Amino acid sequence: MPNEDKMSPPSVDDNDSLSPTNSRGDDDENSQHPRKRQRVRLSCLECRRRKLSCDRGYPCQRCLKSGTPDRCTYETKSGVVLNASSGVPPAFAQLDSRRNGELAMGGTKETDMSLVREAAKDHDRIRRLELEVAQLKTQLTRQAMSSFDGSTVAGTNSPHTQKDESTDTPANDPCANTHQMEKCWHQYSDGGANSELRFFRGKEFRTRYFGPHNATMAFIELTGLCPFMKETADEWLKPVKAHDRKDRKKRKEDRDKFYAQPDPRLEALLPPKEQVDALVEVYIDQFEQMHRIIHIPTFRREYSEFWENPAESRYAAFTALVLAIIAVANCIHTHESMRFTGMISNAQTTAEKYIKAVEEWQDKQSVKHRKLIHYQIACLLYLGKRVNTVKKKRFWTNSGALIQDGISVGLHREPSHMSGKISVYNQEMRRRIWATVQEFDMQASFDHGLPTLVSQLHYDVQPPRNLDDEDFDEDTTQLPPSKHGKEYTFSSYQNLARQSLPLRMELSRLLCGPPGEIDYDQVIRYTNDITHEIDSLPSWEHNNNNTHGGKRPLLAYTLLHVQLRQYIIPLHQPFLKLRKSNAKYQYSEIIYYNAARDIVLLHDKLYEQGIRCLNFLREDTLTTAVNLCSVTMLQPRGSTNMIMINSQHTVKLLEKCLLMKEDRLLRTGNNEPWGYSIMCSSLGLLEAHLGTKTTEQAKASSAERFVNLHYKLLANQEPPVSSQQSELSKIPGLEVPERPKSVTPFSFQGYPSSHNTVDGLLPQPLPWMSSSMDPQVSLHGDFSPALVADSVLAAKTQQQSFNPDFSLEALGLNLNELWGESSSQRSSYLIPHIRQHQPDPFFTSSLTFDKSSPKVTMAPSVLRLASWLAAAASFVSAAPIQARAVIDHDAVVGFSETVPSGTVGALYLKYKPYLKVVNGCVPFPAVDAAGNTGGGLATSGSSNGGCSSSTGQVYARGGSYNGAYAIMYSYYMPKDSPSSGLGHRHDWENTVVWLSAASDSATVLGVAVSAHGEYDTKTSGISWTDTTHPRVGYQSIWPVNHQMIFTSDQGGQQPLIAWESLTDAARIALENTDFGSANVPMKEANFNNNLGKAAL
């Protein structure tokens, strides 16, 4: 090339032209400042960084004394950094000789760089030899120290007495003291993923992971810490035996001995072996094909040994594991007879007892020394709580706790990279446990609408391999390769679920993020991504016919599909109502409907094969029923679009959802009525919208279905225990424990029948008693005349009759609340107080004579409700009840203002509240001097219909609680109805004023107002009238029932009657009268309990 000479590197002579003599150039018009020659740094870079003097040794003494000779580096004139820890290599001495004028003439840069590369090649080898020498010196020093028999080593110099001389050699090489830490540091200091694992400690499942930015990183940066601590311990602590090492061997032996001991309390809970065997098979057959928690062959071997050993030699951990497993499967397994105590099945009660016992045992175990079995138990406990609906509101926090425990032991990091002390078996089990808790957290986050903890977590653990458990065991040294995804194994779900995990976590972040940030283009893109993931899933069609005990690919197939399709519904939900304004959103309606429909069909296919575990783990039957109803209700009646054409199919899908929900409730019972009542109402609402039923027919059908399920639960009740009779006779008038007032606006009102009437006939069935006690009762309500006559005679003998306005509320059987209470309270609810008055025409009008048969027939719904009344009458026959009248709510004559004399009465009046009724009824007197009580009002009409005006009454009662004095002011309203048809008959609310003492000089501590069985409290910010009368209100925010509130608006006051000033008849009436869903707050059974709830 013509310009090749111009491109050649400059020679040494050319470099000389840049010497100080020539660097300034000619003294012409050049305006640039002359370039200064860069001085060579003579000190090592470590001393220069610390701004200390350096003796310029190779390595220098400061770096040697600090235990970091490898950091002693020098910079040469050529810019090369020289590591001085292994002395001065000849090549570097030659390179750096320029500063002494020793560079041979004619040398070139190419020669310099070749020498650098040659020297660098030997540097690693020299460093390794240096570390070996340091290790040998440390061993020799330890041997010398042991000869002193525990005394201080002579000649040991502390960092404060050592001289800065190159000839000084410490007795203990500081480098040896930090050898292990340096080894750990150098192992991961080269960057990459492994650099974050340098503080991973432990083996197998006894591991701890601290993360890359934990506080222990400061130990490495603090120079000289390790030698200083060791010298201090040797010189000052060891002679006084203050630094004795732990007896690790003995402690380990004690731990192993304690671990091998049985737990008598857990052993006592174990059912017979035959029953446990069946439950274990149910668990393995269904749950282990979704969430891999146990290694089945290993478990079966230990399980066989478990039963072969006597109970006193079984170790408690495995007993806890077995109890946790059968707690998961107890309700799913089909028992010979499903019995109920209250509204909860005995199977669910037993499972909850297992869970509580195992959880208490687990909490006592050491977190530091846990094994694989402890993490298996933790996962099974969470699984058992979900299946049995134990503490449902804590599912998200419980799954988050499992995630945190997993992170703390490093389950989220790939175990093969962490340590050589984790066996191949435990590596795979760590992957399975992490995948299990990760899916727990993902589903709990979706159900609660809260973010998942793993969405922002960096993890590199590999997915569990698609292997059968028989493919590896505890002795395996190398895992076989994962099988192809089309080959089904018990681990197929976990292996394939990992593929869609990044997309699901991204959707979780999006849905839990700020509202309004997602646009429709994103929704379409994410829908396509979900569809792509679904299409990539294998079908395993050839394995779908496996029998019980074998592989069930349909279970994994359903869960893989459902957990992806569920995200389509919230993605498109905001755009459904925009369809009327923009036709492009019709796509959202269709994809939304298809996703909900497919989820129902997938669950139904499982249900047909008797696989119930997924229905117990998820609430898809509830959510999809509501989703299908809502999207269909958005379509105009008479439309011919796809959704309306399939409307009858949609009704059948809702009925399938109801059947699956009923099956679950008939196995577990339920302590919450919302789910099933919402599903019943959704079906009725859809039928009314489609025109297949009138509104009244749809309401009646929904209520009938709801009541029928309740009857089925009652029909399988355990026989009443003998102690019930004595419990009822403890107090006169059948004391009913307090129940929190329902916020549920659902109530079932009876509706009259058009049948011909026969007066005086009353059935006497008792559905939860044995057949010998109730031989004639059937679901169709057929009775012989003799039975009816006996019933009438029994009713007349007991002088009991029915309320004039019949409803479940009047029976004290508000089903919503009945399902939400403990079993001891539920049984009491079945014993309502029956008052004397004229027979109800609702019942008599529902009885007819069948001319073709000498039987009396009653409408089925009326039969069941009347049966509960007859049962209540039989229960109360042994408890004498004072005859009192139930009169119209506005016919009750209240008391004039009366308080006891003295300080207490003065306090009652001084702090009497001003009540502002925002909406609903005003207060009415609840009882008169003779003990007659108000019958309340039905929930029809406006919220204050028939109860908008009254002089009212406020009931006051005081008492001491936790060192303070409380005055409770109670109000009675004839009904609690947000709007027509919602709410319930009767309402009691109250306000509690807290004082420092029961004296004239007392100060106000705070005020509490009742709200749905609980209390809202304030200690400041309260509005007062005349400085002592708090301003409170009575309000309902539709559709929720009424409650007391704090307000700044001044209302009115009512005549006050003190509890002490009531007549005996009135006080007994308030103690014994059943006000349905409302509870008299100041009666003996409730007063102290309410003060506890209202405490500040």
Alpha-carbon distance of 770 to 766, in angstroms, equals: 9
Contact status, residue 666 vs residue 712, Cβ threshold 8 Å: yes
What does the alpha-carbon distance between residue 1092 and residue 1083 come to, in Å, rounded to a whole number?
14
List beta partners, residue 807. 749
Mean pLDDT of 529-544: 83
Query: Would you place residue 534 in the very low, low, confident or very high pLDDT band (cuts 50, 70, 90)?
Result: very high
| pLDDT tens readout for residues 451-493 | 988 887 888 889 999 999 999 999 888 899 999 989 999 999 9
DSSP 8-class letter at 280:
H
Averaged over 886-909, what is the pLDDT? 92
Q: Tell which residue, 129, 126, 227, has the closest CA to residue 170.
A: 227
**Higher-confidence position of 892 and 794:** 892
Q: What pLDDT does 304 receive?
A: 93
Report pLDDT digits (tens) over 278-292.
999 999 999 999 999
Q: Which residues contact 94 (CB under 8 A, 6 or more apart)?
A: 102, 103, 115
Residue, of 203 and 104, whose pLDDT is higher? 203
Q: Is 1018:1007 a contact under the CB 8 Å cutoff?
A: yes
Round to whole Å and give the CA distance between 84 and 63.
10
Task: Tell me the CA end-to-end span of the chain in Å, nearest whole number.
Answer: 95
Q: Is the pLDDT of residue 328 over 60?
A: yes
**Cα–Cα distance between 968 and 1079 in angstroms, integer?**
14
pLDDT band at 940 (very low <50, low <70, confident <90, very high): confident
Cα diameter, the chain? 137
Angle between helices 316-329 and 296-308 (to 10 degrees): 110
Q: What angle do CA 438, 442, 446 make, to 5 degrees?
A: 170
What is the predicted pLDDT for the residue at 753?
33
DSSP 841: H
Query: How confident is the model over 545-570, as a mean pLDDT?
Result: 83
Chain centre to alpha carbon of residue 14: 76
- Rounded Cα distance between 1031 and 1047, Å, is 6
Say how many C-beta atoms besides its own lie within 10 A of residue 157's C-beta. 15
**pLDDT per residue over 137-171, tens digit each?**
656 655 544 443 333 333 333 333 333 333 343 43
Average pLDDT over residues 558-587: 92
User: d(Cα 255, Cα 261) in Å, to the nearest integer?
Assistant: 10
Instruction: Name the nearest CA neighbour of 313 among 371, 261, 378, 256.
Output: 261
Which pLDDT belongs to residue 737? 39
How far from the centroid of its chain's Cα atoms is residue 973's Cα?
A: 38
Query: What's CA 572's distance to the chain center, in Å?
Result: 26
- Residue 158: its pLDDT value, please? 37
Average pLDDT over residues 779-788: 36
Q: What is the pLDDT of residues 1027-1037, one digit of tens each?
A: 999 999 999 98
Give the lowest-confidence range in 90-104, 560-574, 668-682.
Answer: 90-104
The more confidently predicted of residues 884 and 393 is: 393
d(CA 419, CA 202): 8
pLDDT at residue 570 tops 70: yes
The model's pLDDT over 829-868, given as tens digits with 9 standing for 90+, comes to: 333 332 333 333 333 333 333 434 333 333 343 344 334 4
Q: Decide: residue 533, CB within 10 A, 0-12 exposed, 13-18 middle, 19+ buried.
A: middle
Q: What local confidence, expressed as pLDDT, does residue 256 receive?
A: 79
Q: Where does residue 478 rank: exposed (0-12), middle (13-18), buried (19+ CB within 10 A)? A: exposed
β-strands 81-83, 964-976 pairing:
unpaired
pTM: 0.55
Residues contacting 1038, CB < 8 A, separation 6+: 978, 979
CB atoms within 10 A of CB 256: 10
Q: pLDDT higher for 17 or 719?
A: 719
Per residue in 751-776, pLDDT (tens digit) is 333 333 333 333 333 333 333 333 33
Q: What confidence tier does 118 reach under pLDDT thresholds 50, 70, 90?
A: low
pLDDT of residue 803: 35
Among 188-197, 378-387, 975-984, the range scoring the smallest mean pLDDT is 188-197
pLDDT (average), residues 247-262: 78
Q: Is the pLDDT of residue 300 over 90?
A: yes
In DSSP notation, 734-772 reads: ------PPP------B-----S---TT------TTS-TT
> Does position 1044 have pLDDT exceeding 70, yes or no?
yes
Cα 798 to Cα 869: distance, rounded to the nearest angstrom: 13
Look at residue 6 and tell me whether its pLDDT is greater than 60: no
- When pLDDT is averaged across residues 204-216 and rounded to a whole number, the result is 71
Integer Cα distance of 320 and 356 in angstroms: 11
Whether the pLDDT of residue 435 is over 90: the answer is: yes
pLDDT at 105 over 70: no
Q: What percent of the chain has pLDDT over 90?
A: 41
pLDDT tens, residue by residue, 489-519? 999 999 999 999 999 999 999 998 887 778 8
pLDDT tens for residues 971-987? 999 999 888 888 889 99
Say yes or no to pLDDT of 112 above 60: no
At 239, the pLDDT band (50, 70, 90 cuts) reads low
> Residue range 249-275: average pLDDT?
85
- Spatial contact of 698 and 657, defined as CB atoms under 8 Å apart: no
Least confident stretch, 400-414, 548-562, 862-876? 862-876
Interatomic CA distance for residues 681 and 746, integer angstroms = 10
**pLDDT given at position 589:** 93
Q: Are strands 782-783 and 855-858 parallel, antiparallel or unpaired?
A: antiparallel
- For CA atoms 576, 580, 585, 586, the dihedral sign is positive
Give kind and range of the element (H or E) at residue 795: helix 785-798
CB atoms within 10 A of CB 28: 6
Band of pLDDT at residue 103, cut at 50, 70 and 90? very low
- The closest of 695, 629, 697, 705 to 661, measured between CA atoms, is 705
Weakest-pLDDT range from 67-81, 247-261, 362-376, 578-592: 67-81
Round the average pLDDT of the chain to a whole number and report it.
75
Cα angle: 539, vertex 541, 547; to 5 degrees: 125
Per-residue pLDDT at 736 exceeds 70: no
The dihedral formed by the CA atoms of 425, 428, 429 and 430, expressed in degrees to the nearest 10: 120
More confident call, 625 vs 185:
625
Residue 102 has pLDDT above 50, yes or no: no
Tokens of 485: 């995804």
- Token pair of 900 as six digits: 């006891």
pLDDT of the residue at 336: 60
Burial of 815 (0-12, 13-18, 19+ CB in 10 A): buried
277-286, 404-413, 462-471, 817-826: which range is least confident on average? 817-826
Separation CA 458–CA 1035 (nearest Å): 49
CA–CA–CA angle 220, 223, 225 (5° rounding): 80
| DSSP percent split of the chain into helix, strand, coil, nearest 5 | 45, 10, 45
Q: Does residue 350 register a pLDDT over 60?
A: yes
Q: For residue 923, is pLDDT > 90?
A: yes
What's residue 128's pLDDT?
A: 62
Which range among 128-142, 172-186, 389-403, 404-418 shows the weakest confidence by mean pLDDT? Answer: 172-186
